[in-house]
Amino acid sequence: MFLGTHAPRIDDKGRLVLPAKFREGFAAGLVMAKGQDRSIVVWPAAEFADHADRLNEASRSDAKVRAYLRVLFSGAFDEVPDKQGRVTLPAALREYAGLDRDVVVVGNGTTVEIWDASAWESYLASQEDAYSDISEEVVPGIL
C-alpha cells in the first residue's frame, strides 16, 4: 500500500527518484498515465494489468467509455525503475500535469500520484475542509 506525501525533484533529464518506501512496490515495473485533476497516476505493472482487464469489460458501444479508454491507454507509459529508483517522466505526461522541477508524490492506496507542488497545495487546501466535515456516505456501500 502506498501512503504519505513526499517532495522529490525532477532532474534536468526529466527523471524522478521514487520515494524509498515506494520502490519495492514498483520493482517489477510500473505504468504511468494521465490522472484526474491534472496529475500523473502510477500503478505497479501488475495492478495496472488488473485495472485494464476490468476496464476492458465495459461496453465499447458507449462513447464515454471509448473516450476514457483512448485517453488512458494512449497516454500510458510502462517502465522499470533503475537501480537508484529513478524513472523518466515522459514529456507528454510532464506537460499534461504541468510539472517542472518541484513535485509532490502522493500515496493513494494502490496507486501513486505525481503532482506539481503548488497545484497539490491548492488542491489539498480546497479539499481539507470538506474532508473534515464529511458526515455522510462517500463511497456507496463502503464508506
In CATH, the number for domain 5-132 is 3.40.1550.20
Q: Which residues on adjacent β-strands are paired with residue 2?
A: 109
Question: For 49-62, how does the pLDDT look when each residue is reduced to its tens digit (9 = 90+)?
Answer: 999 999 989 988 99
Q: Where are the domains of the chain?
A: 5-132
Nearest residue to 22 via CA among 143, 112, 125, 83: 112
Binned at pLDDT 50, 70 and 90, residue 135 comes out as low
In the prediction, which pLDDT does 138 show?
Answer: 65
Tell me the pairing of strands 30-34 and 77-79. antiparallel
Question: For 99-118, how does the pLDDT look when each residue is reduced to its tens digit (9 = 90+)?
Answer: 999 999 999 999 999 999 99
Say what the pTM is: 0.90
Ramachandran angles phi, psi of 48, nearest 5°: -65, -40
Question: For 29-48, how does the pLDDT look when each residue is reduced to its tens digit (9 = 90+)?
Answer: 999 999 999 999 999 999 99
Nearest residue to 36 via CA among 103, 115, 102, 91: 115
Question: For 121-133, how does the pLDDT look when each residue is reduced to its tens digit (9 = 90+)?
Answer: 999 999 888 777 7
Helices (H), the chain: 20-26, 45-55, 63-74, 91-97, 117-132
